[in-house]
Amino acid sequence: MTELSRRNVFVGAATAAAATALTPFAPARAAAPQAGKQAPSFYRYKVGSYELTVILDGVRPVKLDNSPIRNAKLEEVQAVLRASHLPTDKLGFYFHPTVINTGSKLVLIDTGNGPGSRQTGTGQLPDNLAAAGIDPKTIDVVIISHFHGDHISGLRTADGALAFPNAEIMVPAKEWAYWSDEGAASRAPQGQQATFQNTKRIFGPIADKVTKYEWGKELVPGITAQDTNGHTPGHTSHLVSSGSASVLIQADVTAGFAPLQFHNPDWLVGGDQDGAQAVATRRKLYDQLATDRLLVSGYHIPFPSLGYIEKAGTAYRFVPAPWNPAI
């Protein structure tokens, strides 16, 4: 950046160098301390008569010592980040559970990274739920999209209790079948072992009480499970419809580093278990969302994670929906 642009957009550098304060200032009357604190990170919107609240579980900073993309070099990733006005030495990894108040049911989709992750800047779902005025005891239903730790670990508190004690817990049947299969665990690569173990920790003691759901089913009136497998074998998105309005809560159709996978839908992150299927699902869904102009909310799309998908050549562009202060 030139000195001209940094200091003085329309005034020549010589003038800028000569610029001095216009008036002498008295000492500050009351030097107010800097706040050092952001606004609470939740966002409300309506879909028909339903009230939805996106709750940020935090942003995990990921150092870019290596490429975060399995099938691209670090330099290629950094070029995209640079073009997107983002830092090239680290990525911010967002996590967004969603609360849906249907008027008669209070539903939570996914639960964040849980209490074990707070030192990395995440596990903030309880704090941001409180900021949004939502008591975990009033959640009637928790719907899980898939079993990666950043979606299920928030189901338990630090002492191992259920974080949403009055909620029915609903999980994709195909996801349950895979991650609770001892044979699959024994054949799975090292990278999946933590998810097998975490599944046992979270769901083991309540295995009989968890509701296993199939794709295509309406789980709660207006909330339908959509097959978007590939990222994991039972990866599920949720279509929320009320009246003539809808939003697709897409979970990890773009996983991990959403801006990168919009830019190049063929790029894969470590968590994309069946890479070819993950790409096929992403392209099929996004082509349809772009055509239908359907509102979409993404678990890993930067806060408040809400907007529209547009085609951009052979890739996609995410167009954020404008902030509504009144809902």
Binding-site member from 71, 78, 120, 246 for its own copies (CB under 8 A) = 246
Q: Does 224 bind its own copies (CB under 8 A)?
A: yes
Q: Does 273 bind its own copies (CB under 8 A)?
A: no
Q: Does 10 bind its own copies (CB under 8 A)?
A: yes
| Distance (Å, whole) CA 315 – CA 286 | 9
Q: Does 227 bind its own copies (CB under 8 A)?
A: yes
- Cβ contact 233:284 at 8 Å: no
Shortest distance (Å) from residue 267 CB to its own copies: 18
Residue 160 backbone class (left: φ over 0; alpha: ψ -120 to 50; beta: rest): left
Q: Amino acid identity, residue 299?
A: Y
Q: What's the distance, Cα to Cα, between the start and end of the chain in Å?
A: 39
Residues 174-203 that bind its own copies (CB under 8 A): none
Work out the number of other CB atoms within 10 angstroms of the CB of residue 11: 12
Six-digit token string for 324: 């509504």
Query: What is the distance of C-alpha 98 from the center of its chain?
Result: 9
Q: Does 287 bind its own copies (CB under 8 A)?
A: no
Q: In terms of CB distance, is 72 or 173 closer to its own copies? A: 173
CA dihedral of 281, 317, 98, 254, whole degrees rounded to 10: 40
Q: Does 63 bind its own copies (CB under 8 A)?
A: no
Q: Are strands 245-249 and 236-242 parallel, antiparallel or unpaired?
A: antiparallel
Binding-site member from 116, 215, 275, 277 for its own copies (CB under 8 A) = 215
Q: In terms of CB distance, is 184 or 239 closer to its own copies? A: 239
Six-digit token string for 124: 């903030």
Q: In terms of CB distance, is 32 or 161 closer to its own copies? A: 32
Residues 33-52 that bind its own copies (CB under 8 A): 34-44, 51
Query: What is the distance of C-alpha 161 from the center of its chain?
Result: 24
Q: Does 62 bind its own copies (CB under 8 A)?
A: no
Binding-site member from 56, 80, 210, 268 for its own copies (CB under 8 A) = 56
The region of 110-118, 151-159, 262-270, 304-312 touching its own copies under the rule CB under 8 A is: 304-312
Binding-site member from 47, 98, 302, 316 for its own copies (CB under 8 A) = 302
Binding-site member from 15, 89, 205, 276 for its own copies (CB under 8 A) = 15
Residues 77-136 that bind its own copies (CB under 8 A): 84-86, 92, 101, 103-106, 121, 124, 131-135
Binding-site member from 140, 181, 266, 287 for its own copies (CB under 8 A) = 140
Shortest distance (Å) from residue 241 CB to its own copies: 6
Work out the number of other CB atoms within 10 angstroms of the CB of residue 110: 27
Q: In terms of CB distance, is 17 or 194 closer to its own copies? A: 17
- Cβ contact 132:125 at 8 Å: no
* Peptide bond preceding 304 in cis form (omega within 30 of 0): yes
The region of 69-77, 176-184, 197-205, 291-299 touching its own copies under the rule CB under 8 A is: 291-299
Beta bridge partners of 239: 224, 248
Q: Amino acid identity, residue 179?
A: W
